């Protein structure tokens, strides 16, 4: 049992072990894709392989598509060279269900895999050919929010981007520079319409992609490195659209326990690869069963009928409401609360935390009682049912190997959106008062204790990576158990509206956070004691 074309020839061997394989004619689909490509995806990581690729396979099996997916990787070429190509683009998606069952799907919908590497002349020539094709309808992306940034941490244009601005589309080497160059190739060869669809987990993702691509069009036009009409092509939504989307599906790093199950079934060559850019990739992905994809229906060249496999197409405003519902109230704040306290209580799995009645109660109150009152119902998804699924199925799923340490990464960049928007909504509402929020401040107090790097047992730990760690930790570095006079030390953090979205003192929450924090400093076990007191 090998994940390759040859290894999948005898499907009965796989079926006997409980694996589902594709039923479409893969060779015919591959020929169709080569001659009339419809969908290319940038970002060949786990979410793509567990979500978009599975959706495409379902459509192919149902005869709702006759072309497959093209995977393009523009950052870490080794993912293609060392994982996709050795396995003929075939992968394995293991869906870990909360009831203990697992679904094992061999995914064959990715029929081409390419590096977005100008030095790989064969791959890059094929990419240009794809972008010239009038049949191409959708270019989708999961390259992470950082992938759309043209600047470094200091806000300066990166050297690669600066070089691309100066050298033009024929010599682009930065990620978005290469994408813009391929779009320019399409413009110069018929200027056919196309949808550029970011499916990354960030707000207003379509705008981030548009702004990045437009920057190249503007600079190249200014420097007379492209035809004048290219910038008008990019700006015209009837020619090039940049729809917003909201995506939600947890796909942790491929887990050793899942690999063990597959090996016991007889699947061979499952060894992961750690690339030179420190990407961890395996022939399989493990993922939760719940998933959502909501996309603004703006496709000037048509699109695959993905609504037939559960994708929701709607207006931009509705996508925005769904995004805010998820990120600001119904999912992400609950995850961050568990991440902070999970590290403080030394949990290794998020799911294990939901067995702790205190932490379960904490996220239920934050979701249902403090968050839900300010959620604008998007209509296409019910906010309460969404939280129900999060609290009762998704987070407690014992088979999802997700850790609080992973989710605690970059917390300083998250709290302003995940909690700050709720605080601002309370502050703006005539019938609500931020001072009525009691559990969100508990999370902030826990985060101060987390920044100290001392857990509830009094043991030191290393916080997860965060761009503000070196800035914030000195404020709490000399705070000791039993300290009560902590205002001068923590007020620079709690008053920082860049972090929290508001000055917490001005909205009436800063003093409460301090009060909770002092109680969490009473000694070993003080964090649990504080949670018991207020929950």
- Identify the three-state secondary structure at position 293: strand
In this prediction, residue 203 carries a pLDDT of 86
What are the E-state strand segments in 1-78? 19-20, 39-42, 69-73
What does each of the 535 residues of the chain score in pLDDT, given as a tens digit?
Answer: 999 999 999 999 999 999 999 999 999 999 999 999 999 999 999 999 999 999 999 999 999 999 999 999 999 999 999 999 999 999 999 999 888 889 999 999 999 999 999 999 999 999 999 999 999 999 999 999 889 999 987 889 999 999 999 999 999 999 999 999 999 999 999 999 999 999 998 889 999 999 999 999 999 999 999 988 999 999 999 999 999 999 999 898 888 889 999 999 999 999 899 999 999 999 999 999 999 999 999 999 999 999 999 999 999 999 999 999 999 999 999 999 999 999 999 999 999 999 999 999 999 999 999 999 999 999 999 999 999 999 999 999 988 878 999 999 999 999 999 999 999 999 999 999 999 999 999 999 999 999 999 999 999 999 999 999 999 999 999 999 999 999 999 999 999 999 999 999 999 999 999 999 999 999 999 999 999 999 9
Return d(Cα 183, Cα 131) in angstroms, integer. Answer: 7
Helix or strand holding residue 425 (H, E): helix 420-428
Residue 192 has a pLDDT of 98
Q: Which of 481, 474, 472, 488 is nearest to 454 (CA)?
A: 481
Write down the pTM of the prediction.
Answer: 0.89
346: left (phi over 0), alpha (psi -120 to 50) or beta: left
**pLDDT, position 398:** 85
Starting from the edge strand earliest in sequence, which strands make up the sheet with 292-296, in order?
A: 245-248, 292-296, 312-314
Q: What is the pLDDT of residue 402?
A: 85
Pick from 259, 265, 251, 380: nearest CA to 314 = 380
H or E stretch covering 332:
helix 332-344
- Residue-by-residue DSSP string for 160-212: HHHHHHHH-GGG--SHHHHHHHHHHHHHHTT---EEEEE-SSSTTHHHHHHHH
Complete DSSP assignment for 505-526: TTTT-HHHHHHHHHHHTSSTTH
pLDDT at 50: 97
Q: Please tell me the predicted confidence (pLDDT) of residue 359.
A: 98
Res 135: pLDDT: 98
Contact 248, 291 (CB under 8 A): yes
């Amino acid at each position: 049992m090998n994940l390759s074309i040859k290894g999948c020839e005898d499907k009965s061997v796989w079926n006997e072990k409980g694996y589902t394989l594709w039923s479409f004619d893969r060779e015919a689909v591959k020929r169709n894709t080569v001659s009339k490509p419809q969908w290319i995806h940038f970002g060949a990581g786990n979410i793509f392989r567990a979500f978009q690729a599975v959706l495409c396979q379902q459509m192919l099996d149902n005869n709702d598509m006759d072309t497959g997916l093209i995977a393009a990787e523009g950052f870490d070429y080794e993912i293609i060279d060392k994982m996709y190509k050795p396995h003929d683009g075939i992968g394995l998606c293991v869906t870990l269900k909360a009831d203990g069952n697992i679904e094992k799907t061999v995914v064959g919908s990715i029929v081409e895999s390419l590096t977005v590497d100008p030095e790989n002349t064969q791959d890059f020539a094929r990419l240009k050919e794809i972008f010239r094709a009038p049949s191409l309808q959708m270019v989708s992306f999961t390259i992470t929010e950082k992938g759309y940034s043209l600047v470094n941490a200091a806000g300066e244009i990166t050297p690669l981007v600066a070089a691309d601005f100066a050298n033009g589309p024929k010599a682009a080497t930065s990620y978005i520079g290469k994408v813009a160059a391929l779009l320019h190739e399409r413009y110069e060869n018929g200027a056919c319409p196309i949808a550029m669809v970011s499916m990354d987990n960030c707000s207003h993702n379509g705008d981030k992609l548009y702004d990045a691509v437009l920057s190249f069009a503007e600079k190249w036009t200014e420097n007379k490195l492209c035809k004048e009409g290219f910038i008008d092509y990019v700006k015209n939504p009837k020619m090039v659209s940049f729809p917003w989307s909201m995506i939600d599906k947890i796909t942790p790093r491929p887990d050793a326990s899942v690999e063990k199950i597959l090996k016991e079934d007889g699947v061979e060559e499952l060894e992961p690869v750690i690339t030179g850019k420190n990407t961890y990739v395996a022939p399989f992905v493990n993922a939760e069963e719940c998933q959502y994809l909501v996309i603004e229906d703006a496709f000037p060249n048509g699109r695959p009928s993905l609504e037939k496999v559960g994708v929701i197409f709607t207006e931009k405003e509705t996508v925005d409401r769904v995004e805010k519902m998820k990120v600001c109230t119904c999912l992400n704040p609950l995850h961050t609360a568990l991440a902070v306290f999970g590290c403080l209580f030394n949990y290794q799995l998020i799911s294990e935390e939901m067995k702790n009645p205190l932490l379960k109660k904490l996220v239920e109150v934050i979701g249902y009682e403090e968050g839900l009152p300010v959620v604008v119902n998007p209509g296409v998804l019910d906010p309460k049912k969404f939280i129900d699924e999060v609290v009762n199925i998704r987070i407690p799923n014992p088979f999802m190997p997700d850790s609080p340490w992973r989710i605690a990464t970059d917390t300083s960049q998250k709290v302003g959106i995940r909690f700050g928007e709720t605080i601002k909504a309370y502050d703006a509402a005539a019938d609500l008062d931020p001072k009525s929020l009691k559990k969100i401040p508990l999370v902030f107090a826990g985060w101060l204790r987390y920044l100290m790097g001392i857990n509830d047992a009094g043991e030191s730990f290393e916080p997860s990576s965060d761009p503000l760690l070196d800035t914030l930790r000195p404020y709490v570095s000399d705070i000791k158990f039993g300290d009560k006079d902590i205002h001068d030390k923590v007020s620079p953090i709690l008053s920082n509206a860049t972090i929290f979205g508001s000055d917490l003192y001005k909205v009436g929450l800063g003093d409460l956070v301090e009060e909770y924090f002092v109680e969490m400093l009473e000694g070993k076990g003080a964090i649990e004691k504080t949670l018991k007191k207020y929950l």
